[in-house]
Structure 1
Amino acid sequence: MAPARTCKIMFTSGLLCLAVACGVPSAKEGTAALGAAGSPAGAGASASQAGNDLKFGADHRFASGVTISVGSPKSFQPSLSAYPQSPRGAAFDVQLTNDGATTYKLSGLTVTATSDGTAVKQVVDTTQGFTGIADAGKDVQPGRTVHVTLAFAVPQQQTQLRLQIRPSATEAAAVTYCGPA
């Protein structure tokens, strides 16, 4: 086999592996394809980055002016008082900046997660400070930033985790972050 052809095959194989790991855009409304669960976690995903998932740490700005950034997952051992009980948890720092012209209601923020295509539950572990969106009733004025730490129950072994964030439950636009956890 010629060296140039070998490089093309290896490059194509690498892209295919990356697409399978984090999902690829489907032909239907820019949704992200999922594995066995079949639920459209990427349904209505925003068109930024051609409908592809973002890596943890990347910023995404919605048309409303709200900018979201999700940090890399930090693994932790849930305490005995955590709900639900899980062999391991993954915690995320979420930064939300309101660069829009109007007040943003934090109560509208919706975050869901899947692990290898299966929905996972948010962990509430007050002993370790994982209480969900504690300031859900808070309004975020234009130009202001808030930080939220969220945790999700994940399997003991490393997994591909996808977080879908929607600034409002009624808004069609969403962004999906994907990566190992």
Structure 2
Amino acid sequence: MALARTCKIMFTTGLLSLAVACGVPSAQDGTAALGAGSPAGAGASASQAGNDLKFGADHRFASGLTISVGSPKSFQPSASAYPHSPRGAAFDVELTNDGATTYKLSGLTVTATKSGSPVKQVVDTTQGFTGIADAGKDVLPGRSVRVTLAFAVPQEPAQLRLQIRPSATEPAAVTYCGPA
């Protein structure tokens, strides 16, 4: 009798762990929450694809922060770019703080994946792609800030997923998906 009960508990614990590791929809904002030990972008599942936004769409977090990611702009990285890549895709990310408290830009995390594999961010100072240059900047309520981020992509067009998390402590993230 005790063995059967132990098996049921172990099975239930395994299912719960699997749900947390793969991400479950958040009722608060309709996006998938990742497990605390998961790196951003990991655990992307087919069920998350239904929650993806297209480039250009706005997403408002419960904190009042609104994020919009523009369509990718293809560019040829310079010889001094890191990492070396045949092509780059640049994205304008606009953040508007409609919340009641100051937003710390240093908490912003943006990761990219192609076919489930991580894509590296390109730093190309020659062309102005320096990452989040004002990471120490605070965004006061009612203010906006725009950052441009670039990622290394293959020469041929590819589906790219950008996952944005406003802070490391924020359980919710938004994912944008589209051709780059």
Under a length normalisation based on structure 1, what TM-score does the superposition of the two structures give? 0.75
Give the match for residue 121 of structure 2.
122
| Aligned residue runs from structure 1 range 1-181, under 5 A | 28-30=23-25, 31=32, 39-41=42-44, 52-181=51-180
Kindly indicate whether the alpha-carbon contact (under 8 Å) linking 1:100 and 1:143 is maintained by their aligned counterparts in 2: yes
Gaps of 5+ in 2: 1-21, 26-31, 34-40
Change (3 A) 1:125 1:101: same
In structure 1, the residue corresponding to 2:106 is in which secondary structure? helix
Write the distance in 2 (CA, Å) between the matches of 1:135 and 1:129.
13
Kindly indicate whether the alpha-carbon contact (under 8 Å) linking 1:41 and 1:164 is maintained by their aligned counterparts in 2: no
Change (3 A) 1:169 1:51: farther
In structure 2, the residue corresponding to 1:84 is in which secondary structure? coil
Write the distance in 2 (CA, Å) between the matches of 1:109 and 1:142.
16
Write the distance in 2 (CA, Å) between the matches of 1:105 and 1:56.
24
Kindly indicate whether the alpha-carbon contact (under 8 Å) linking 2:72 and 2:91 is maintained by their aligned counterparts in 1: yes
One-letter amino acid matched to 1:29: V
Write the distance in 1 (CA, Å) between the matches of 2:116 and 2:59.
22
Quote how far apart the aligned CAs of 1:115 are: 1.2
CA deviations on 1:100-142 (whole Å, 9 max, x unpaired) are: 0000000000000001221001000000000000000000000
In structure 1, the residue corresponding to 2:56 is in which secondary structure? coil
Write the distance in 1 (CA, Å) between the matches of 2:115 and 2:176.
13
Write the distance in 1 (CA, Å) between the matches of 2:159 and 2:170.
26
Quote how far apart the aligned CAs of 1:39 are: 2.8
Write the distance in 1 (CA, Å) between the matches of 2:44 and 2:143.
29
Give the match for residue 8 of structure 2.
none
Kindly indicate whether the alpha-carbon contact (under 8 Å) linking 1:72 and 1:92 is maintained by their aligned counterparts in 2: yes
Write the distance in 2 (CA, Å) between the matches of 1:51 and 1:139.
33
Write the distance in 1 (CA, Å) between the matches of 2:42 and 2:162.
13
Quote how far apart the aligned CAs of 1:169 are: 1.3
Write the distance in 1 (CA, Å) between the matches of 2:72 and 2:128.
15
Identity of aligned residues (%): 83
Note the aligned Cα RMSD (angstroms): 2.0
Kindly indicate whether the alpha-carbon contact (under 8 Å) linking 2:23 and 2:43 is maintained by their aligned counterparts in 1: no
Write the distance in 1 (CA, Å) between the matches of 2:77 and 2:112.
17
Gaps of 5+ in 1: 1-26, 33-37
Kindly indicate whether the alpha-carbon contact (under 8 Å) linking 2:113 and 2:162 is maintained by their aligned counterparts in 1: yes
Write the distance in 2 (CA, Å) between the matches of 1:40 and 1:75.
27
In structure 1, the residue corresponding to 2:122 is in which secondary structure? coil
Write the distance in 1 (CA, Å) between the matches of 2:179 and 2:167.
26
Write the distance in 2 (CA, Å) between the matches of 1:174 and 1:128.
29
Kindly indicate whether the alpha-carbon contact (under 8 Å) linking 2:85 and 2:152 is maintained by their aligned counterparts in 1: yes
Task: Please identify the structure whose Cα radius of gyration is greater.
Answer: 2
Write the distance in 2 (CA, Å) between the matches of 1:166 and 1:68.
10
